[in-house]
Amino acid sequence: MNIHQFCLALFSDWTKKLQFNEWYFVRLENDFLTNLPSEDAFRSIPDLVDIILEQPPFQNEDDQFMYAELLSILVDLVQKSATTEIPQRLVESLEPISVRAQSLDINQRKPIKDIRDWYRLEAVNED
């Protein structure tokens, strides 16, 4: 399964699946990441960045929740990549992603800090 297939599964009727099984996202993500080699995790980061950037403007809490979930998955890919080499696409896009994340709940913004910490990037005031 690649990152696009994973996101298709993630987006597919997710509110119903999450109501039925509160661990839906966790299990799906674990299944995806468990056997993913670190090189593939690294190569998946730019594609996930593009998926995050393509998300429509927030219309409701579900949109915010999904954006926060994608940020969390991005952190997991970053850490799974097992390198502090930052993909160029993430370098170019971290600021717009961070700006958009400012409208999220403070706990939902934590992935931005985690990414900056992982890559030892200068912190930006995110409060």
Domain count within the chain: 1
52: in domain: yes
pLDDT at 97 (0 to 100):
96
- Residues 10 and 75: their CA atoms lie apart, in Å, by 16
Structural domain containing residue 113:
3-118
The alpha-helical segments, DSSP class H, found in 54-127 are 61-80, 88-101, 110-118
pLDDT at 125 (0 to 100):
52
125: in domain: no
pLDDT at 30 (0 to 100):
95
37: in domain: yes
84 within 8 A of 119, measured Cβ to Cβ: yes
User: 61: burial class by Cβ within 10 Å (0-12, 13-18, 19+)?
Assistant: exposed
Distances (CA, A) of 90 to 27, 41, 119: 26, 13, 11
48: in domain: yes
- Residues 120 and 92: their CA atoms lie apart, in Å, by 16
Q: Cβ of 97: how many Cβ atoms within 10 Å? A: 20
pLDDT at 106 (0 to 100):
86
Angle among Cα 40, 45, 46 to the nearest 5 degrees reads: 115
123: in domain: no
pLDDT at 55 (0 to 100):
94
pLDDT at 107 (0 to 100):
87
pLDDT at 104 (0 to 100):
92
pTM above 0.85?
yes
> Which residues of the chain fall short of a pLDDT of 70?
123-127
